[in-house]
Structure 1
Amino acid sequence: MDATTEQWKKITIATFGKRSKVHWRQAMMDILFVDLGLKPACLFDHWLADLKSMHSYLMSLYTECLVSKKLRVVAIGMDVIVYESCWLKSCFHAEFVDISSNLHQPSLITAKEKVAQTADVFKQWCSQCHNPASSLECDEIVTSDSVNIPTLFGLFLGYPCVYWYDQAMGEDNNLSSCSLRLFQVKGCVKPGALPHNEGHSCQKSSGVSKSSKFSYVLKENKTACSVVYSFTVPENIVESVREKVWLWYTAWEQSVPWSSLFSSVWMQEESVEPGAVCL
């Protein structure tokens, strides 16, 4: 383990304690994906973290030059999302999938009025974040009964297909009885990748200002692959959205700076058996 990776581990455990010992490396990669611009946000689900501790953690990473940007954090209910405001896109073109429990099977939503209130909450948040006068780094989205939390998560994460369900029918969904198509965007990590950030200058105790360097991977792991995106689409509608999903991936591959971390990237898809789906 190199010194920079060891520093990540030290700061993580110092902030979150023993509960972070198992998954600190996965958390590191998720946060770096956001910092590098490979994804707009990550839903932090590696261990329970509150808004205050996550904000303190992100500031420590920035102070120690382990990330290049002052990443922001927002709480939605009991969950926290780490994001970089400039990557959030309020003009989204996602397909919405109705998975309400009263439906026999999932279906594409054509009447956008169903998701309008949730989409408006996301658009307003993006507008607030993109305001040059905004100093918002740590805050909470207070939702109403009309706002669908899984849909809001999907919009933050930038998925091409986003789930929605009618909350008047309860919190259940119909995914447990249908086959799903799993799409995953993966990258083969460069051994010893050291992306440089020219915009963030780090002032160390020596008083010498220097450009920060980020040691994102273990140098001894020459075949490491990481999952950048992972989402599902119900099999019964996959043919209706597959072209759009692959166009989304192509646009991602051509527009984000993945080569700073990965030697190659690809998207794969496979069928997965019905089971409990956590939204």
Structure 2
Amino acid sequence: MSTQELFVATARKCLSVGKKRMSVAQSLDLAVQVSAVDLGLKPALLFDTNGASADQVQQYLSSLQASQLVSKSLVTLDLNGNTLIVNPVTARSNVKQMFVDGGVAVMDVCHSLEKPTLADPLRGELKSMKHGLLLLLSELEQLTEADKPHYVGEVSEGWNLCTVFGLLLGYPVTYWFDHTKSFGNCLPLTPLMVTTASVTLQEYAGAGHRCCLYSFSIPTALLKEMQSNLENWRLHLEKGFQQQHALKDLTVCQSTVTLPSVCL
């Protein structure tokens, strides 16, 4: 059985919900995502392909690790009911870049603002969240061959999950808003530049099946201020991509959209 077939068979065996199994295309997309996390091309993936539970995702990851398709350093994380597969070392490195010049920037998109702006790096909520995330990821680095998901409890209750996901998914920019006051934002009808990065599995490249590794947006009004963050992210991705052989055909594209509503 080829590597591609093993990835597909494992996904369809472990991640079925009821009588519905993962499609071949979904299984291949997931294979690319997990491989990218294992290779350090992205810190984590947020599992939202179907309604599989965190325990099922753990079973899938453990099966891949037993087949030596991915390393044993990857961990399944349940964060407030959201399931992620995390590379703790890569994720911790990315969180450390929060507010570093040219690293990861945080954009304030509170509903009360007229337009998006850069968040204050001294804002207490953000400092506390960064500290909590680094402690969590340090704990995850110590886990080896975990046989169950790591559940995050009370420590994450005050975190803005939109900001957390941006950090864990490896974006060069992430959004923040005061979720204690409103879950709305000031992005409707705001021009956004969307950056996507896609690849193919080495074995599957001939069939033209592409998978999106990254997709994130930046308000065009902040593009000039965010240019170094975006460029550093692209160069880091390209460098990591050149150091591996499992994925090929990296393509980074940009487009501008204006939407009547934006859900974060």
Q: TM-score range by the shorter chain?
A: 0.7 to 0.9
Partner of 2:134 in structure 1? 123
* TM-score after normalising by structure 2: 0.84
Give yes or no for the alignment of 1:91 onto 2:96.
yes
1:229-260, Cα deviation, whole Å (9 max, x unpaired): 21111122122102321122112322455541
* Counterparts of residues 54-93 of structure 1 (less than 5 Å): 54-88=57-91, 89=93, 90-93=95-98
Residue type at the aligned position of 2:218: V
Structure 2 unaligned blocks of 5 or more: 99-103
1:120-160, Cα deviation, whole Å (9 max, x unpaired): 221111222334xx448321122554211111111111211
Residue type at the aligned position of 1:218: Y
Flag the 1:7–1:243 CA change in 2: closer, same or farther, 3 A: same
Flag the 1:29–1:116 CA change in 2: closer, same or farther, 3 A: same
Partner of 1:269 in structure 2? 254
Whichever of the two has the greater Rg, that structure is: 1
The 10-residue stretch of structure 1 (247-256 or 27-36) with the greater mean CA deviation from structure 2: 247-256
* Counterparts of residues 1-279 of structure 1 (less than 5 Å): 3-17=2-16, 18-21=20-23, 23-88=26-91, 89=93, 90-93=95-98, 94-113=104-123, 114-131=125-142, 134-135=143-144, 137=146, 138-142=149-153, 143-187=155-199, 189=200, 193=202, 217-218=203-204, 220-221=206-207, 223-257=208-242, 259-279=244-264
RMSD over aligned Cα, in angstroms? 2.4
Question: How far did residue 97 of structure 1 move?
Answer: 0.5
Question: Whole-Å Cα distance in 2 between the matches of residues 139 and 62 of structure 1?
Answer: 17
Flag the 1:65–1:259 CA change in 2: closer, same or farther, 3 A: closer
Flag the 1:144–1:129 CA change in 2: closer, same or farther, 3 A: closer
8 Å Cα contact 1:39-1:157 kept in structure 2 = yes
Flag the 1:263–1:146 CA change in 2: closer, same or farther, 3 A: closer
Percent identical pairs in the alignment equals 22
Question: How far did residue 170 of structure 1 move?
Answer: 1.6
Question: Whole-Å Cα distance in 1 between the matches of residues 209 and 26 of structure 2?
Answer: 16
8 Å Cα contact 1:62-1:70 kept in structure 2 = no
Partner of 1:210 in structure 2? none
8 Å Cα contact 1:118-1:151 kept in structure 2 = no
Structure 1 unaligned blocks of 5 or more: 194-216
Question: Whole-Å Cα distance in 1 between the matches of residues 96 and 156 of structure 2?
Answer: 22
Flag the 1:178–1:123 CA change in 2: closer, same or farther, 3 A: same
